Amino acid sequence: MRLLVVEDDKDLARQLRGALADAGYAVDLAHDGEEGHFLGDTEPYDAVILDLGLPELDGITVLQRWRQDGRNMPVLILTARDRWSDKVSGIDAGADDYLSKPFHMEEMLARVRALLRRAAGHASNELQCGPLRLDIAAAKVSLDGLAISLTALEFRLLSYLMHHQGKVISRTELVEHLYEQDFDKDSNTIEVFIGRLRRKTQADLIETVRGLGYRLAAPDTIATDDN
């Protein structure tokens, strides 16, 4: 899952990036409204953390322009303003949630998880596909109750597939949502990671749809011992 953080306080931005990266996300940073608007308008982010008090272009304007342009990624706004009217303005401009500064990183992570869950239509932090379970909050994966060790990119890939279970996801889409902006992206590596996941999990859970991409099996298509 790939996130954008738009925050002009560079120390806070680095802290946010570190916490999100440790939780398994790919993270891009922007330090002013103009750059943030451009990235959010041209890159496919799964969610955005957006400060309201930005130089060049304020956060409300950035958000309004995204929504006017049809950009519908979930947005968590950060604000140091105490007035309830500022929070209402952010929500009315198209934000999905807000967080007041100062805040605890754990609360920020919980709110991001909730945004991503709702955007994908999930109600729980635990995603399941047959015997495979992914705990978003703990960043842990298990198969038949036994823990599986995954690299950061393997976890990112599996998490994206499980959030979009039953849908065909192209290699291009996977590349766009797995890597940061400045990463040397190579769609051929997706096949390598898919192969690794198949070896570490139940091989038939990830289906190759020829010419289109990959699909994590929908729950009602998974064979059980009773079939």
The alpha carbon of 191 is separated from its chain's Cα centroid by a whole number of angstroms, namely 21
Q: Lowest mean pLDDT: which of 21-30, 132-141, 154-163, 173-182?
A: 173-182
Domain end among 120, 153, 168 = 120
At what angle are helices 152-163 and 188-200 packed, to 10 degrees? 90
Average pLDDT, the chain: 89
pTM confidence score: 0.84
pLDDT tens digits, one per residue of 111-125: 999 999 999 888 888
Instruction: Tell me: do 85 and 157 sit in the same domain.
Output: no
Instruction: Tell me: do 8 and 110 sit in the same domain.
Output: yes
Sign of the alpha-carbon torsion through 144, 148, 153, 159: positive
pLDDT tens digits, one per residue of 200-217: 988 788 999 998 999 997
Between CA 156 and CA 22, with CA 78 as vertex, the angle to 5 degrees is: 25
Virtual torsion, Cα 13, 19, 102, 4, nearest 10 deg: 50
Confidence of residue 14 (pLDDT cuts 50, 70, 90): very high
Mean pLDDT of 173-188: 78
Domain end among 120, 148, 179 = 120
Instruction: Tell me: do 196 and 133 sit in the same domain.
Output: yes
Looking at residue 88, what is its pLDDT? 87
Confidence of residue 84 (pLDDT cuts 50, 70, 90): confident
Instruction: Tell me: do 108 and 131 sit in the same domain.
Output: no
Residue 14, in any domain of the structure: yes
Mean pLDDT of 77-84: 80
* pLDDT higher than threshold 70 for residue 220: no
Instruction: Tell me: do 92 and 182 sit in the same domain.
Output: no
Instruction: Tell me: do 156 and 131 sit in the same domain.
Output: yes
Confidence of residue 130 (pLDDT cuts 50, 70, 90): confident
Looking at residue 226, what is its pLDDT? 44
Q: What's the CA gap between 153 and 155, in Å, rounded?
A: 5
How many domains are contained in the chain? 2
Instruction: Tell me: do 139 and 106 sit in the same domain.
Output: no
Confidence of residue 26 (pLDDT cuts 50, 70, 90): very high
- Bridge partners of 207, per DSSP, are 215
Instruction: Tell me: do 134 and 83 sit in the same domain.
Output: no
Residue 74, preceding peptide bond in cis (omega within 30° of 0): no
pLDDT tens digits, one per residue of 43-69: 999 999 999 999 999 999 999 999 999
Looking at residue 83, what is its pLDDT? 73
Instruction: Tell me: do 84 and 14 sit in the same domain.
Output: yes
Assign residue 194 the CATH number of its domain. Answer: 1.10.10.10
Looking at residue 224, what is its pLDDT? 45
Instruction: Tell me: do 49 and 65 sit in the same domain.
Output: yes
HEC letters along the chain: CEEEEECCCHHHHHHHHHHHHHCCCEEEEECCHHHHHHHHHHCCCCEEEEECCCCCCCHHHHHHHHHHCCCCCCEEEEECCCCHHHHHHHHHHCCCEEEECCCCHHHHHHHHHHHHHHHHCCCCCEEEECCEEEECCCCEEEECCEEECCCHHHHHHHHHHHHCCCCEECHHHHHHHHCCCCCCCCCHHHHHHHHHHHHHCCHHHEEEECCCEEEECCHHHCCCCCC
Which residue range is the domain that position 85 belongs to? 2-120
Instruction: Tell me: do 92 and 176 sit in the same domain.
Output: no
Instruction: Tell me: do 184 and 159 sit in the same domain.
Output: yes
Domain end among 77, 105, 120 = 120
Q: Are 38 and 214 in contact (CB under 8 A)?
A: no
Amino acid (1-letter code) at residue 43? E
